[in-house]
Structure 1
Amino acid sequence: MSDTKNAYSNNITTKIRSSLVIKLNVRMLGRLFSGFLAINVLIILMGFFVVLWKAEEGAKNIITAIELAPNNLQSTYYDFKNYQILIKEGPLKGIKLPRNIQKRLPLEITDAKRSIRVSRINKEMKLLEKIDLVKYTIELSINDTSYQIIYGLGRDLRLFLHLFLIVLIYELLIIVGDIGKGSRIIRKTLKPLSDLTETAKNLNAEVLSMGTNADGTHIKDLAGVISSIDANKLDKRISVDSSQNELKDLAYAINDMLNRINDSYQSQVRFVSDASHELRTPISVIQGYVNLLDRWGKKDERTMQESIDAIKSETENMKELVEQLLFLARGDNETIQLHKEGFDACEVVGEIIRETQMIDPNHKFEIDLNRPAYINADKQLIKQAIRILVDNSIKYTPPGKKIILRVAIEEDSVRIIVQDSGIGIEPEYLPRIFDRFYRSDESRARKTGGSGLGLSIAKWIIERHGAYFEILSRVDVGTRITIVMPASKMPSSEMSIE
């Protein structure tokens, strides 16, 4: 009888692990895979467009040379930078593009016909040898003479194939890494559930030994509810019946644990969704300006420069976002090592001010440094956290206004203060300013830029040093953020100098 019950309990544990771990992991990987798929399709389309545009540009130069000196073609075959030019007899073959598309291509001859052809393939050929046989052909008439311009796509396709293969390998490594990391994180999160199931089994044995509820109905009902919970039912809870006095504490504990699991899972889902949204926005902007260039930018220098500047800006924003996401991911996985050393916090603040004044002459910076203010910390990470606060002050402070940086010393702490004269923060928004991707005002965020990750990174850095923030803000007056760091003794190297 006891063996049957043990087998039943083990079966429940197996169901819990398979339903939660697998489904949660598959759902997260599905989102990641769909994002990679969309990016790969965009890369393929843009690569194909660039290769054909390059072929059209070269064909345009060849046509210009033929029109200027048609008698220079001494034979029916001529090589010109990976191009073949044939004097053709018979009707033109290929696809004639619509007039509105033809006008936007470098080669503007409206009766030209285009085709992509592959020479005769031998079954014994390797893949790269087959790719070398792909040709892009343009057939057209000039001064009653038919020409066939053939461009070998093999070299461009091989280069694109190698680059695309590198991208696929990198994406595969990310997916494989996330499979292992996701499974470990989910299993670690769900370990209390397995422990509670084991506790329920032991409790069932104790209840049966006391003769209470000899049929074990309540335990079986509890186990049945637990086994029915999966990724789509994380909001399901166990009802606490007043008659189940011996199981009340267990049911409460399970419900509390399910609340934590659900909050953690929903947080991960929101994080992936927000990250996808933040990446989709610059990609859409880049695609829009590429279309603008395709339509009007080739002959309009102002439109071309505007598009280039916008694409460069969005690319830089996307690079910064990816770097911030990688930092937070490494922080969540506890793979960032702190290299602590003793130093004067005033030196770091002074460096930041000198660097900021060179790139931002539009604000007034006031400094109040009480030297020496020694702390024991990772110098680069602390500098990164302070710079995040300074950058935020610059974004939300009108030009000409004052930004104050102060370092104060108390008995056991060093206070690094960044105070601006900006727009301030509403009181109800203050508790959430360190949340990832959180913005109190989306309209202001669009004007100032940023992804909403800077303060999350600063919080991670400060908390890992055993420090904390103090924030005081008034709307239309300004914001003061104070980093309170544990004070350190004077470095031994400086003591020896004295």
Structure 2
Amino acid sequence: MTINTLILLMGFFVILWKAEIGTQDIIEALKQPPDNLESIYHLNRDYEIIMEETSKGIILPHNIQKKLPVEIHNAKRSINMSKTNKDIGLLEKIDLIKYTIGFSINNLSYQIVYSLGSNLKLFIYLFFIVLIFELLIIIKNISKGSKMIKKTLKPLADLTEVTKSLNAEVSSMASKADGTYIKDLAGVISNIDANRLDSRISVDSSQNELKDLASAINDMLNRINDSYQSQVRFVSDASHELRTPISVIQGYVNLLDRWGKEDQKTMQESIDAIKSESENMKVLVEQLLFLARGDNETIQLYKEVFDSCEVVNEIIHETQMIDKNHNFEIDLNKPAYINADKQLLKQAIRILVDNSIKFTPRGKKIILKVVIKENHVHIIVQDSGIGIDPENLPHIFDRFYRSDESRARKTGGSGLGLSIAKWIIERHEAYFEILSRVDIGTRITIVFPTAKSLES
């Protein structure tokens, strides 16, 4: 989604740039006007010159106009569509889109009109080809996922073959285990696939020689099923979280298409909403990528010995510059040396501080402390917020978990922040201590083993 958005924006900007380049010679010729405009018009037949400003289309923002190549004082650039029959097709409507530059030279008003239709249609065709290519990549990834499941279940298939071989050996022995039980065991294992990972092997009390084998198989099935269900939940939750901002963006795009071209208020409201939802999607995708890389163990930790008080002090200084609605109190027991990745630790503490800000009323106090206790550094973030119910405490580090959806909608967030913080802290062999009371506040403590300073 992000790449496609960038392609659309870059393509549109390139089309405007091309239109601007062609106007440079015309503007230079207008500065020394001939007896009539016909000779100027023939400089480039793709452009039309009007001796007055008549178009009132969508005016480009000033920041975009400054980045375009033609520099002319008080130029008004706009995009509009000629009025036409509503029954014509989409491609015919695209042909009617015009790009205009209005300006004044020698006390005369001019408007240069350039048809964007052919360029836009070419870009749409190319973009459609890119979308087809992306669809092929998605289909290929789905195929890879199927192969991965088969690879995961391959140990079970191998175990089935071993069991069948064991059955052949035992069946030849005159014992109370006449091979019937092993045949049953092999049959159960053969029937287990991705859709039946919850199946388990049952061994009765008379089969003591098979109990350990069945128990080991059941334990392996439990681990595979837990991992598989976790991935399914993760994909489902991620899809659900992305569906909402996409729906909002689509709604405002439709609103712009219907009424926003003529209504400046509607257009600005739509632009603000699309920017906000795009930023939310960007944050969510970055969090998902972080967790995916974390699950694959591809994130490198660059540990060093440093004073954790310095990191806490930096976070408070940065936060106070952007949040004037809360009172921040600092209590730092310097020095408090730890061996950690400074950037990742800063990210984890900032997540805790951001949560405290979200759930603490205006004017209330947020406390950050660094304390040394029994050869451990305690980094404490304490707020005066809404608190957490006891039954919700065991789940606050679960991915996409939010104890109160109505509060989550007001404060924002995807429910991934604490999951990221937990991953970071656990990779440093540290842990959390949490104390929370409803309507009083929450105190979260990160406990690190102390480290000797480089100086000592």
User: What TM-score bracket applies, with the shorter chain setting the length?
Assistant: 0.7 to 0.9
- Does the CA-based 8 Å contact 1:420-1:479 persist in structure 2? yes
Equivalent position amino acid for 1:406 in 2:
K
In structure 1, the partner of 2:411 is 448
In structure 1, the partner of 2:191 is 228
Q: 2:354 aligns with which of 382, 391, 395?
A: 391
Q: 2:200 aligns with which of 215, 237, 258?
A: 237
The alpha carbon displacement at 1:304 in A equals 2.2
Structure 2, unaligned runs of 5 or more: 17-35, 50-78, 98-112
In structure 2, the partner of 1:60 is none
TM-score (norm 2): 0.74
- Does the CA-based 8 Å contact 2:95-2:118 persist in structure 1? no
Q: 2:286 aligns with which of 297, 303, 323?
A: 323
Equivalent position amino acid for 1:295 in 2:
R
- 1:373-392 correspondence to structure 2 within 5 Å: 373-392=336-355
The alpha carbon displacement at 1:289 in A equals 1.4
Higher relative contact order structure (alpha carbons within 8 Å, sequence separation ≥ 6) = 1
The alpha carbon displacement at 1:108 in A equals 6.6
The alpha carbon displacement at 1:285 in A equals 0.5
The alpha carbon displacement at 1:310 in A equals 1.1
Equivalent position amino acid for 2:345 in 1:
I
The alpha carbon displacement at 1:79 in A equals 9.3
Quote the RMSD (CA, aligned, Å): 4.0
The alpha carbon displacement at 1:266 in A equals 1.5
- 1:1-400 correspondence to structure 2 within 5 Å: 82=46, 107=81, 109=83, 111=85, 114=88, 136=95, 153-163=117-127, 183=147, 187=151, 189-190=152-153, 193-194=156-157, 196-197=159-160, 200-201=163-164, 203-204=166-167, 207-208=170-171, 210-212=173-175, 216-400=179-363
CA deviation vs aligned residue, 1:62-97 (integer Å, no higher than 9, x gap) = xxxxxxxxxx9979x989784799xxxxxxxxxxxx
- Does the CA-based 8 Å contact 1:403-1:418 persist in structure 2? yes
- Does the CA-based 8 Å contact 1:78-1:84 persist in structure 2? no
- Aligned in 2, Cα 1:152/1:441: closer, same or farther, shift over 3 Å? closer
CA deviation vs aligned residue, 1:421-469 (integer Å, no higher than 9, x gap) = 0000000000011010011110010000001100000000000010111
The alpha carbon displacement at 1:251 in A equals 2.2
* Rounded Cα–Cα distance in structure 1 between residues aligned with 2:136 and 2:290: 20
The alpha carbon displacement at 1:193 in A equals 3.0
* Rounded Cα–Cα distance in structure 2 between residues aligned with 1:384 and 1:425: 22
The alpha carbon displacement at 1:225 in A equals 1.3
Segments ≥4 residues shifted beyond 6 Å: 72-75, 77-81
- Secondary structure at the aligned position of 2:299 is classed as coil
- Does the CA-based 8 Å contact 2:347-2:421 persist in structure 1? yes
Task: Considering fraction of residues, name the structure with more helix.
Answer: 1
Structure 1, unaligned runs of 5 or more: 1-35, 55-71, 86-104, 119-133, 139-148
- 1:487-498 correspondence to structure 2 within 5 Å: 487-491=450-454, 494-495=455-456
* Rounded Cα–Cα distance in structure 2 between residues aligned with 1:327 and 1:178: 21
- Secondary structure at the aligned position of 1:423 is classed as coil
Equivalent position amino acid for 1:243 in 2:
S
- Aligned in 2, Cα 1:407/1:223: closer, same or farther, shift over 3 Å? same
CA deviation vs aligned residue, 1:383-416 (integer Å, no higher than 9, x gap) = 0000000000011011111000001112321111
* Rounded Cα–Cα distance in structure 2 between residues aligned with 1:185 and 1:467: 33
2:433 counterpart of 1:470: yes
- Secondary structure at the aligned position of 2:448 is classed as strand
- Does the CA-based 8 Å contact 2:305-2:338 persist in structure 1? yes
- Aligned in 2, Cα 1:464/1:179: closer, same or farther, shift over 3 Å? farther
The alpha carbon displacement at 1:322 in A equals 0.4
Q: 2:446 aligns with which of 483, 486, 496?
A: 483
CA deviation vs aligned residue, 1:84-129 (integer Å, no higher than 9, x gap) = 99xxxxxxxxxxxxxxxxxxx95474658745789xxxxxxxxxxx
- Does the CA-based 8 Å contact 2:360-2:383 persist in structure 1? yes
CA deviation vs aligned residue, 1:237-263 (integer Å, no higher than 9, x gap) = 223233333222322332232222222
The alpha carbon displacement at 1:235 in A equals 2.1
TM-score (norm 1): 0.68
The alpha carbon displacement at 1:203 in A equals 4.2
